[in-house]
Structure 1
């Protein structure tokens, strides 16, 4: 693994940033493209990152991943910008007798950070959100090969026609209409728990 060893060096490459943050180089590239991690390019077109920005993000990710040290728990990430709905998700999902650990994010920007660092097994996302909306987040997510096995679903107040007008979702991602269909979500999460914990 490539490390930055010279304390005088104030910047690093994508590969070094990936090593420091313990994610893939592709995740670093997507975080850069999404504005999560600021970067500039050399004359030759190579990305460079400020080490202070790397350390700040590393500290933030550490807080998010402390709860993820639990083994034999299925990781569920809910991305929703409405505080009342986040509370509803928490109260409902945590009330199920399933071996899961739940995290939340308030928009697609935070969602991409947590997906890259926490690597959830299941992602439930809203579509209409500030900063980075669900459509843009999902289109970034499908470029990340390491998350091909992740179960992803969208829940939105928009109709399927309205979502199509906004650019549509990547193929294979189911969309549920609000109010949140918790019965359907529970079935999917329950099945995924059986699949993951039996392997």
Structure 2
């Protein structure tokens, strides 16, 4: 009898990873290319993904978890709330923000209702929000926030794949709100967050 290769049982193909995660093969490939899910290629050019990486992604994509980019004990951090209903996007944002070494404490919400509760409880310094979401969408959520003077100092950015004409039909980008088109240019987003950090930390001194 041929012995079982235990190492082979610890890896899977992109197809199998997609089945385990309940997403498309192309989504898995995008996550691998972005470095969110660890993988390597065989000599034949086929991707192999550790099952542990699949499990880690699934845990990270569950949403609602705090994902600090620096130790929580740091003296001064900037709080960021990311509102995104797509678990793959949430995991991608979490991965990217953690790479930048900025003094951030990051929380995630899946919809506008969750976000309003989170904002009332913690009042984040920076809000990054998708627009198209079930229930209370990001646009209505942001309009609600802008109606509260006590939240006027919050930095707000929209991250959306909406076409300019679709956004204009909703009233355009509100004054004082920054817009990032999806797929997000992470160099631009990093620069924006650096500026937010510099201003917030300077005000907190």
Normalised TM-score (structure 1): 0.63
Is residue 135–residue 168 contact of structure 1 (8 Å, CA) maintained in 2?
A: no
Q: Which moved more, 1:163-172 or 1:75-84?
A: 163-172
Match of 1:198 in 2: 202
> 1:76 pairs with 75, 80, 84, which one?
80
Is residue 124–residue 154 contact of structure 2 (8 Å, CA) maintained in 1?
A: yes
Matched, 1:142 2:152: no
Match of 1:165 in 2: 169
Is residue 83–residue 108 contact of structure 2 (8 Å, CA) maintained in 1?
A: yes
Q: Which has the larger radius of gyration?
A: 2
Number of paired residues? Answer: 136
Matched, 1:183 2:177: no
Is residue 64–residue 118 contact of structure 1 (8 Å, CA) maintained in 2?
A: no
Distance in 1 (CA, whole Å) between partners of 2:74 and 2:122 is 12
Q: Which moved more, 1:162-171 or 1:143-152?
A: 162-171
Is residue 64–residue 114 contact of structure 1 (8 Å, CA) maintained in 2?
A: no
Deviations 1:97-120 (A, max 9, x none): 111100010011111111111111
Deviations 1:36-75 (A, max 9, x none): xxxxxxxxxxxxxxxxxxxxxxxxxxx989x989751100
Match of 1:5 in 2: none
Deviations 1:101-142 (A, max 9, x none): 000100111111111111110000000001110111011000
SS of the residue aligned with 1:103?
A: strand
Instruction: Summarize the alignment of residues 6-45 of structure 1 with structure 2, pairs less than 5 Å apart.
Output: none
Report the Cα offset of residue 172 of structure 1: 2.3
Seen in structure 2, the aligned counterparts of structure 1 residues 71 and 118 have a Cα distance that, compared at 3 Å, is farther
Q: Unaligned regions of 5+ residues in structure 2, if any?
A: 1-63
Note the aligned Cα RMSD (angstroms): 2.2
Normalised TM-score (structure 2): 0.61
Match of 2:7 in 1: none
